[in-house]
Amino acid sequence: MEPGVNTDMGAAAATLDYDAELMLRVKEGDGTSFGVLLEKHRASVIHFVYRLVQEQAVAEELAQEVFLRVYRSRSSYEPTAKFKTWLFRIATHLALNWLRDEKHERGQERLDEVSGDLPVRQVCDRRPSVEQELVYQVKLEEVRRAVAALPEKQRAAVLMHKYEEMEYAQIAKVLGCSESAVKSLLFRAYETLRARLAHMETT
Amino acid sequence: MNCPIENRNSAMLVAHAAGELDPLAARVLEQHLAGCEACRSVAAEQIAMWKALDAWEAPPVSPDFDRRLYRRIGEGAPLSWWERLARPFRAIPLRQALPLTATAGLLLMAGLLLQHPGSYAPAPAPHSQAVRADQVESTLDDLDLLRQFGTANSAESVHNDAM
Amino acid sequence: MLLRFGFAILLAAAAVGPVWAQQDPDKQSGQQLVENSIDRWNRMSPAERERQLAKLPPDRARMIRQRILRYNQMNPEEQQALRERYQTFSQLPPDKQEIIRERLREFRTLPRLRRPVVHGEVEQLRLMPEAQRQTRMNSDEFRNRYSPQEQQIIRDLSTYLPK
């Protein structure tokens, strides 16, 4: 833990206990608790996998597989780590496997292809002009390509750190490496991303 | 403070860009940034890059995600006791099975009539075969789709009497 | 010998059990219908049905109740035909089912006046031998008559939608 970095250990600990507790109830046959866990983590798993593989349909399929595995392994579940850590370990494993299979089948070029999978822009109070929309899409494409160009483990680490706000220790458990290795991954990843994205004007 | 760049410890700068530093640490870092051009440059780039990543929104989740998931969970459910019992016998050759089946059928019918003379009532679904509401919803969705296509040649609106 | 015969009857009784359990006294068409989830739902006790519905948000539960009611109130012949189509559909591999669902959803979004045209084309193509079907779908007339989306709908539904 870096000095000076804000954490709310009390709330985090309570969250850990509650999710793990819910999963223990699922282990005992309580399907409703599974529904609660699904409701809570569905979006973050799908979004995490989406940003890793950058195809929405694939992301949802893989996310389904994640929750399917969670459900099917309920009888042997033991809360040895945070529930979210376990969940993201499964998600990362499946997504990285898919990426490796895809890379083997289609070659690296696929990662740089322009995808038709661009997300619909959240429209704010004022509709963006056509020009603004175009600028937005171009920026978005640049961000996607920059992330896609990162080595897989760096990509996964960045996505967990940036979008899931997971701590180094938790990311380390997901990736099965040390905390210092995670710091190194993030250091190199952010260095690369700064070089590619820092020039972008922000509105 | 020790210079993050010189010490190859950019975690402080990353945390600063993410707004994760507590006020005291943030003040200390900002004092350092005021006098260190290298760190100031990296910090500015990190903030710009962080904002760029912020703009990347993921698409919304499909509304039928849960339904598909529960269906897959249901497909992996263990066989009912009827299905497990019947499985080994499906290979009985037809010419052997037919007379046996007829005889067994007569015996079963006799048994039922002795128990419930004069009426046939379907047995209530055993608790283990209780259907979930979302499973029913899924079936209704499929029936709806099939029905609407089936009536499309009469140019009915899809909004008429959808199930 | 007698012992063997008796044992065979017992085995046959077990084999015929599941078929017996699935017999529907209301079956009228040539196709033997297996219970779908709505049938099983209808056989559940009201208490069990409400227990399952209580797991869903109230609005969704209310919609499901209404839809089941509409389904149960369908004209019996219409319901029978729909059940047969659904049964054939549900026996397809899951990936084929998903393709059909996708295309039927897209079909629903077509302009009202286009639906009977697309529907008619699908029905026509399904009756054709494969070679003739391919020739038709690759023809200029077909490409000029239907948008790319409509072509895809027609292609997949004529291929996968059960007769």
C136 part of a folded domain: yes
Domain-ending residue, one of C64, C90, C116: C90
Is B10 near chain C, with CB under 8 Å? Answer: no
C129 part of a folded domain: yes
Residue with tokens 């072509």: C151
Least confident of A5-19, B4-18, C122-136, C143-157: A5-19
User: Do C139 and C85 share a domain, yes or no?
Assistant: no
What residues are paired with A5 via a beta bridge? B21
How many domains would you assign to chain C?
A: 2
C86 part of a folded domain: yes
pLDDT at B120: 39
Cα distance between residue A103 and residue A128, in whole Å: 36
Cα distance between residue C115 and residue C147, in whole Å: 12
- For B14-64, the pLDDT digits (tens) are 888 877 788 888 888 889 989 999 889 888 889 889 888 988 988 888 888
pLDDT for A3 beyond 90: no
- For A57-91, the pLDDT digits (tens) are 899 999 999 999 999 999 999 998 899 999 999 99
For chain B, the chains sharing at least 3 beta-carbon pairs closer than 8 angstroms are: A, C
- For C33-54, the pLDDT digits (tens) are 778 899 889 888 888 888 888 8
Domain-ending residue, one of C90, C105, C130: C90
User: Do C29 and C86 share a domain, yes or no?
Assistant: yes
pLDDT for A41 beyond 70: yes
User: Do C27 and C73 share a domain, yes or no?
Assistant: yes
Please check whether residue C157 is in contact with residue C103, taking contact to mean a CB–CB distance below 8 angstroms: yes
Range of the domain at C49: 23-90
Cα distance between residue C16 and residue C5, in whole Å: 16
| Nearest-CB residue to C37 (from B85, B90, B131) | B131
Give the CA angle between residues A164, A115, B57 to the nearest 5°: 30
pLDDT for A171 beyond 60: yes
**Subunit contact B52:A202, Cβ cutoff 8 A:** yes
C2 part of a folded domain: no
Q: How many CA atoms lie within 13 A of B38 on its CB side?
A: 8
For chain C, the chains sharing at least 3 beta-carbon pairs closer than 8 angstroms are: A, B
**Subunit contact A162:B44, Cβ cutoff 8 A:** no
C5 part of a folded domain: no
Q: Which of B54, B4, B25, B26 is nearest to A191 (CA)?
A: B4
User: Do C99 and C137 share a domain, yes or no?
Assistant: yes
More confident position, B43 or B156:
B43
C122 part of a folded domain: yes
**For residue A47, what is the domain's CATH number?**
1.10.1740.10
User: Do C99 and C120 share a domain, yes or no?
Assistant: yes
Put simply, the chain A residues between 22 and 51 with a CB less than 8 A from any chain C CB are: 31-32, 35
pLDDT at B107: 61
pLDDT for C9 beyond 60: no
User: Do C115 and C138 share a domain, yes or no?
Assistant: yes
pLDDT at C21: 36
Please check whether residue A145 is in contact with residue A51, taking contact to mean a CB–CB distance below 8 angstroms: no
Q: How many CA atoms lie within 13 A of A10 on its CB side?
A: 0
pLDDT for C90 beyond 50: yes
User: Do C98 and C74 share a domain, yes or no?
Assistant: no
Closest residue in chain A to residue C55, using alpha carbons only: A32
Least confident of B60-69, B134-143, C6-15: C6-15
pLDDT at A158: 96
A3 part of a folded domain: no
- For B79-126, the pLDDT digits (tens) are 444 444 544 554 455 555 556 556 655 665 655 555 544 443 334 444
A1 part of a folded domain: no
pLDDT at B51: 87
How many domains would you assign to chain A?
A: 1
Mean pLDDT is highest, among A113-117, C25-29, C147-151, for C147-151
Question: Nearest CA to CA, how far is A129 from chain C (Å)?
Answer: 28
C10 part of a folded domain: no
Q: Which of A135, A180, A174 is nearest to A155 (CA)?
A: A174
Cα distance between residue B152 and residue C147, in whole Å: 18
A62 part of a folded domain: yes
pLDDT at B16: 83
pLDDT at C1: 61
Put simply, the chain C residues between 113 and 142 with a CB less than 8 A from any chain B CB are: 113, 115-116, 118-120, 123
| Helical ranges in chain A per DSSP H | 9-27, 31-53, 56-72, 83-106, 130-148, 152-162, 168-175, 179-197
A202 part of a folded domain: no
Band of the pLDDT at A115, cuts 50, 70, 90?
A: very low
User: Do C73 and C49 share a domain, yes or no?
Assistant: yes
User: Do C86 and C100 share a domain, yes or no?
Assistant: no
Range of the domain at A103: 9-116+126-197
pLDDT for C77 beyond 50: yes
Cα distance between residue C72 and residue B143, in whole Å: 12
A2 part of a folded domain: no
* Mean local confidence (pLDDT), C61-87: 87
A83 part of a folded domain: yes
pLDDT at B105: 58
Cα distance between residue B101 and residue C95, in whole Å: 36
ipTM over the 0.90 cut-off: no
Contacts 24+ apart (CB under 8 A), C90-96: C90/B142, C90/C36, C92/C160, C92/C162, C94/B75, C96/C160
C128 part of a folded domain: yes
Question: What's the whole-number average pLDDT of chain A?
Answer: 81
Question: Nearest CA to CA, how far is A120 from chain B (Å)?
Answer: 7
Domain-ending residue, one of C90, C113, C134: C90
User: Do C72 and C113 share a domain, yes or no?
Assistant: no
SS3 at position A5: strand
Is B27 near chain A, with CB under 8 Å? Answer: no
A203 part of a folded domain: no
HEC states along chain B? CCCCCCCCCCHHHHHHHCCCECHHHHHHHHHHHHHCHHHHHHHHHHHHHHHHHHCCCCCCCCCCHHHHHHHHHHHCCCCCHHHHHHHHHCCCCHHHHHHHHHHHHHHHHHHHHHHCCCCCCCCCCCHHHCCCHHHHHHHHHHHHHHHHHHCHHHCCCCCCCCC
Chain centre distance of CA C82: 7
Please check whether residue A160 is in contact with residue A188, taking contact to mean a CB–CB distance below 8 angstroms: no
